[in-house]
Amino acid sequence: MAARSASKGARAIVSCPLLALRAGINGLSCMMRNVLIITCCCLTMLAGCTDLHHEEAEHLNQEGVQYLASNNLPKAHDKFVQAWKQEPQNAETLYNLASTYQRHDQNTEAERYYRQALQVNPNFTACRHNYYLLLVSQNRLPEARDDAQRWLAQNPKSADAYVQVGWLMRAQGDLPNARKNLEEALALEPHNTEALLESGKLYQDFHMFDRAKTLYQRVLMVDPYNKDAQAMLTSMPKK
């Protein structure tokens, strides 16, 4: 009997640490659950704040573009700066800031913001085009061409990339390679308005005016209010 009593006592002694360990684990689990709940709540709140900042940045960008359309550069720039403060890594904001700096002939700042926008969104075609225009205006056409060719190598199925290489080749005077790249662009996207426009300009260089006119008309079929196509048609030589 004494032996059995001792055995029961031993089991009781052993079970106490086990119960304590289980209680500790349960307590730790509760703590972990609370931490996870708090973390999830914080992330949800952070996501909500991010969405609000993004929406505000988009709104400010729209206002800035409206000021640009009315040629009010100071107001436009102010709106884009406010948008940048809301969301510093918004590619559209960075592009808009670059555009206003370029219009103010602050080309160093313009280039910096164009580059930042392209780091955020490497396939931002309008940004790339304006960046290349800036480089060409500074007699840095080979630099622009090389950058466009690298972009094309990374995006071999991009009609926009072929267009950028094409117009830069044309600017360089390499009309055969310009034609090759623009034909590749149209093979990928037959209704790409930039490819059609640049092809029209190229055929004007070849003095193939009827072909150029047809290409400009195709632009207007896709985009009836395209001012560039309208201007090119107006400037076509009269027969």
Measured from the Cβ of residue 22, the count of other Cβ atoms closer than 10 Å reads 10
**Contact status, residue 219 vs residue 196, Cβ threshold 8 Å:** yes
Count of domains for the chain: 2
Q: Is 50's pLDDT higher than 50?
A: yes
Residue 108 and residue 180 in one domain: no
Residue 112 and residue 154 in one domain: no
pLDDT digits (tens, 9 = 90+) for 189-200: 999 999 999 999
Confidence band for 25, pLDDT divided at 50, 70 and 90: very low
Q: Is 177's pLDDT higher than 50?
A: yes
Kindly report the CATH number assigned to the domain that includes residue 76.
Answer: 1.25.40.10
Confidence band for 124, pLDDT divided at 50, 70 and 90: very high
- Would you state the pLDDT for residue 4? 43
The DSSP symbol for 238 reads P
pLDDT digits (tens, 9 = 90+) for 194-234: 999 999 999 999 999 999 999 999 999 999 999 999 999 99
Residue 84 and residue 173 in one domain: no
First vs last C-alpha separation in the chain? 125
Residue 28 belongs to a domain: no
Q: Which domain holds residue 75?
A: 48-121
Q: Which helix (H) or strand (E) holds 25?
A: helix 2-69
> Among 220, 210, 234, 219, which Cα is nearest to 186's?
219
Mean pLDDT of 172-187: 98
Three-class HEC string of 172-193 = HCCHHHHHHHHHHHHHHCCCCH
Residue 22 belongs to a domain: no
Identify the weakest region by mean pLDDT among 46-55, 99-108, 146-155, 214-223.
Answer: 46-55
